[in-house]
Structure 1
Amino acid sequence: MVAGSRLRQIGWAVTLAMCVALFAALTFKVNSVRSEVRLAERQILALQREKVLLETEFETRASQQQLAQWNAVDFGYQAPGPGQYLEGERQLAALGEPRLPAAPKPIRVARAPDTGDEPHFPAMVSPLTGKPVKAADDAASLADKLADGGAFLAEAGQ
């Protein structure tokens, strides 16, 4: 009876091992098929994008032909020739017309006189204390106050 029980346990262990092996093989197969499906979906999307691009190109070329036909029959436009380009501002100014008497005056921009001195800016004021801030002198003292932990904030509250 002990030998039969032992044989039954081995049978169950072999059956369980086979089930685990089949489950693992099935999982790998499902994952490989899923990867192939994703790859196929990506290829489909790429082909759809290419199709849209080709359709747009076709429609653009068709409209270019239509525009060329309209230009030949109705409009008669031509590409600019070398004689149509200007060589500088003087030629451009020569094309201008004098202002009419009823035309509005040109807009002028106000400028401050240039005295040669550096511009004067108001002193920076701390939003916490309301006192003027010295940039270079207070840099070291500000670092010291921040290192103290709360002395700077306690001073600012006064």
Structure 2
Amino acid sequence: MIAAGSRLRQLGWIVTLAICAALFVALTFKVNSVRSEVRLAERRIIALQREKVLLETEFETRASQKQLAEWNAVDFGYQAPGADQYIAGERQLAELGEPRALTAPSPIRVARAEDDQREMQLPAMVSPLTGKPVTQQAEDPSLAERLASGGDFLAESARR
């Protein structure tokens, strides 16, 4: 009898732990679903705030258009262009042009240098500390070549 009660008590604890684990998993899923709904609601709020700003800007623009139209009617007297004011094409635009007068300044031209293929001579390398020219006192014979090429020498020494 005692062994059967002990066995029943163990079985009860196992069932209780299984129920607690199932409730914990269900609660975790519920918390995650609520968290997801909160994120979606926050995103929707942000989207609505942006839309509100856009609509406010459009409202202010249209209100200022009304104000501009009132100023135009009273103060400026501007009118919208009519259909007869538009140009039909390039030929009609060219017909509106006039030949350049003799006293007119010459047209603006872009400066352009000729591309000569000669070798560019770099200035001598100068020490930034002393201001004196760098002497070629190295065991490496290719140092003179690197000094002559300037930028390649600096790029290579930066890699080392």
Q: Is the aligned partner of 1:121 residue 2:122?
A: no
Q: TM-score, normalised by structure 1?
A: 0.59
What is the alpha-carbon distance in structure 2 between the residues aligned to residue 123 and residue 129 of structure 1? Answer: 19
Q: Give the 3-state SS of the residue equivalent to 2:145 in structure 1.
A: coil
Q: Aligned ranges for residues 8-19 of structure 1 at < 5 Å?
A: 8-19=9-20
1:108: Cα distance to partner? 8.0
1:4: Cα distance to partner? 1.9
Match of 1:131 among 130, 145, 148: 145
What is the alpha-carbon distance in structure 2 between the residues aligned to residue 26 and residue 89 of structure 1? Answer: 81
In the alignment, residue 34 of structure 1 is paired with which amino acid? R
- Cα RMSD between the aligned structures? 3.8
1:119: Cα distance to partner? 2.0
Structure 1 counterpart of 2:23: 22
Q: Give the 3-state SS of the residue equivalent to 1:121 in structure 2.
A: coil
What is the alpha-carbon distance in structure 1 between the residues aligned to residue 100 and residue 57 of structure 2? Answer: 44
1:129: Cα distance to partner? 3.2
Q: Is the aligned partner of 1:87 residue 2:88?
A: no
Kindly tell me: are residues 65 and 94 of structure 1, through their superposed partners in 2, closer, same or farther at Cα, counting changes over 3 Å? farther
What is the alpha-carbon distance in structure 2 between the residues aligned to residue 32 and residue 109 of structure 1? Answer: 66
Identity across the alignment (%): 65
Q: Is the aligned partner of 1:55 residue 2:69?
A: no
1:98: Cα distance to partner? 4.8
What is the alpha-carbon distance in structure 2 between the residues aligned to residue 109 and residue 52 of structure 1? Answer: 46
Give the gaps of 5 or more residues in structure 2.
123-141, 147-155
Deviations 1:101-144 (A, max 9, x none): xxxxx9887666x6xxx72231799xx73428xxxxxxxxxxxx
What is the alpha-carbon distance in structure 2 between the residues aligned to residue 109 and residue 29 of structure 1? Answer: 71
Q: TM-score, normalised by structure 2?
A: 0.58
Structure 1 counterpart of 2:133: none
Kindly tell me: are residues 108 and 94 of structure 1, through their superposed partners in 2, closer, same or farther at Cα, counting changes over 3 Å? closer
What is the alpha-carbon distance in structure 2 between the residues aligned to residue 36 and residue 84 of structure 1? Answer: 56
What is the alpha-carbon distance in structure 1 between the residues aligned to residue 43 and residue 111 of structure 2? Answer: 61
1:30: Cα distance to partner? 1.0
Q: Aligned ranges for residues 2-13 of structure 1 at < 5 Å?
A: 2-13=3-14
User: 4+ residue runs of structure 1 moved beyond 2 angstroms?
Assistant: 78-86, 92-95, 106-112, 128-132
1:6: Cα distance to partner? 1.5
